[in-house]
Amino acid sequence: MIMCSFVLLLLLVGGVEKAYASEKKNIYIGLHDKMLPFTTGEAFIIDNQAVAPAEKLSRYLYIKQTVQKADEVYIFEKNGQQLTVNIKTKEASLNGKPAGSAAIHKENGQFYIGIRWIAQQFGFQVDYLSKNHTVRLYTKAGAKLSNEEFLKANQSFFDRLNSPQPAKGPIAYVTFDDGPSQQSASILNILASHRVKATFFYIEANIHRYQAAAKRAAAEGHYLALHSVTHKVNPLYNSPQSFMNEMEKTNRTLKSVTGRSSVLVRAPFGSSPYLKQPFCDAMSKRGYRLWDWDIDSEDWRYNTSSKARILQNIQAGIKMQKKRGDQHVVILLHEKKITAEMLPQILQFLTKEGYRLQTYDPSAHVVQNFWNDKRL
Ligand SMILES: [Zn+2]
């Protein structure tokens, strides 16, 4: 009898392992003492290796990535090390010397790289914390915590994953474009007094100009996102490259001023018609997400005497979204004086209609773009 159970157990374990080998298994990534903002499903184990989108992972590891020969050769550089990967042949070389076969994976036009493989090439230590499905990358200089302390320090990250959000009704995301601005302080005051977290799409020069506002918004738990450098059709939409350059420049400024970088972009004037397929491909490749909106308050149209229209537009929009059964409503506002003046009424209205007002959360991403591109 004991013998029989033992054999049965072996069979079961064998079966489970086999299933894992071909199935995707989600993982998370930690760098030094913190978890990186990879959302569920972004990084995973497939064929017994943990992989992540190459561009996004390199960005977090401060590895510069460039692409040559029509997407065939990827070059990764950091601290004078140069790693070259041919994604057709899988051949890799480190500083010109053959470095064996690269750990790579391609899926839906995305290029994934073996996390352990690339991290080790650039001198990171790698631990797999299997209980938390987490790959931790670190250097002696960069990490202060032991693995046990690391898990403790990041407990809130894992708690959030494990506790399924109780569905207490639909969510509304209040978003503000074109800031930070002179109006930021009053907008932030109103949000704070209503205990609402919002999402801000910043223009690069404004981050420089209104640094205190950007820092305050970050400190108060709002999500800061990217809205370009020039905000002009030409040059912004000249090419996918010009578009990405503007967003990444904005991201660098955001990081230098607030210490935070962003994965979320709002295309000026909306993603349709300018943000055609090659633009979306470029964004997806670099791990960015794109948000348009459900409800346009059209606040940019109005002045002091007509500002009540902002609320009316939102009320009409909410009526429509309720009919559609949309559980995630994104509302477009701008950092304008009349918008700030109408904001208390807008927040009261949304709350009264049963909406939970939340900020953008990369780990609970909602697809919200005019192309309905699920990658973004
Ligand atoms: Zn704008």
Q: 172: which 2 tokens? A: 């509304």
Cα-to-centroid distance, 149 and ligand 1 (Å):
43
Is 84 domain-assigned?
no
Whether 237 and 194 share a structural domain: yes
Q: Distance from first CA to last CA of the chain, Å, rounded?
A: 55
Give the percent of the chain with pLDDT over 70. 93
Are residues 115 and 222 part of one domain?
A: no
CA 299 – ligand 1 centroid, Å: 12
pLDDT value of position 110: 81
Cα distance between residue 236 and residue 191, in whole Å: 31
Q: Is the pLDDT of residue 93 over 60?
A: yes
In a domain, 111, yes or no: yes
* Segment 151-159 long-range contacts (CB within 8 Å, at least 24 positions apart): 153/33, 153/34, 154/30, 154/34, 154/35, 157/28, 157/35, 158/132
How does DSSP assign 52-118, residue by residue? Answer: EEHHHHHHHTT-EEEEETTTTEEEEEETTEEEEEETTT-EEEETTEEEEE--EEEETTEEEEEHHHH
Residue ranges making up the domain that contains 318: 171-364
Q: For the chain, give percent helix, strand, coil, nearest 5.
A: 40, 25, 35
Burial (CB < 10 A; 0-12, 13-18, 19+), residue 156, is: exposed
Distance 198 CA to ligand 1 centre (A): 16
Is residue 135 located within the same domain as residue 278? Answer: no
Q: Is residue 15 one of the residues assigned to a domain?
A: no
Q: Do 232 and 339 belong together in one domain?
A: yes
Residue located via tokens 């992989």:
51
Q: What is the pLDDT of residue 206?
A: 98
Q: What pLDDT does 124 receive?
A: 96
Is the model's pLDDT at 166 over the cut of 70?
no
What is residue 19's predicted lDDT score, i.e. its pLDDT? 40
- Whether residues 63 and 212 fall in one domain: no
- CA–centroid distance, 333 to ligand 1, in Å, is 9
Rounded Cα distance, 194 and 335, in Å: 17
Pair 243, 300 in one domain: yes
More confident of the two residues 330 and 162:
330
208 C-alpha to ligand 1 centroid (Å): 17
Q: How far apart are CA 320 and CA 237, in angstroms?
A: 31
Check which CATH number belongs to the domain holding 287 and give it: 3.20.20.370
How is residue 374 annotated by DSSP?
T
243 plus 200 within the same structural domain: yes
| 232-254 pLDDT per residue, tens | 999 999 999 999 999 999 999 99
Whether 160 is in a domain gets the answer: no
How many domains in the chain? 2
| pLDDT (0 to 100) of residue 160 | 79
Q: What is the mean pLDDT of residues 84-110?
A: 90
Interval 297-356: pLDDT, tens:
999 999 999 999 999 999 999 999 999 999 999 999 999 999 999 999 999 999 999 999
Nearest by Cα to 61 from 45, 46, 39, 83: 83
In a domain, 161, yes or no: no
In a domain, 373, yes or no: no
* Residues 128 and 248 placed together within one structural domain of the fold: no
The answer on pLDDT for 12 being more than 50 is: no
Q: How confident is the model at residue 164 (pLDDT cuts 50, 70, 90)?
A: low
How many angstroms separate the alpha carbon of residue 329 from the centre of ligand 1?
Answer: 19
Q: Is 97 part of any domain? A: no
CA atoms within 13 A on the CB side of 357: 23
With pLDDT > 90 as the criterion, what percentage of the chain qualifies? Answer: 81
Query: What does the alpha-carbon distance between residue 43 and residue 46 come to, in Å, rounded to a whole number?
Result: 10
Q: Among 47-61, 176-190, 212-226, whose mean pLDDT is lowest?
A: 47-61
Closest by alpha carbon to 199, among 260, 144, 131? 260
Does the pLDDT at position 151 exceed 50? yes
CA of 227 to the centre of ligand 1 (A): 7
Residues 213 and 345 reside in one and the same domain: yes
- Please identify, among 124, 154, 184, the residue that sits at the C-terminal boundary of a domain: 154
Q: pLDDT value at position 6?
A: 42
Q: What is the mean pLDDT of residues 155-159?
A: 87
How far apart are the CA of 344 and the centre of ligand 1, in A?
Answer: 22
Query: Ligand 1 centroid to 54 CA: how many Å?
Result: 30
CA distance 141 to 154: 19
Q: How confident is the model at residue 167 (pLDDT cuts 50, 70, 90)?
A: low
C-alpha of residue 270 to centroid of ligand 1, in Å? 8
- Nearest CA among 264, 267, 250 for reference residue 214: 250
Q: Same structural domain for residues 124 and 180?
A: no
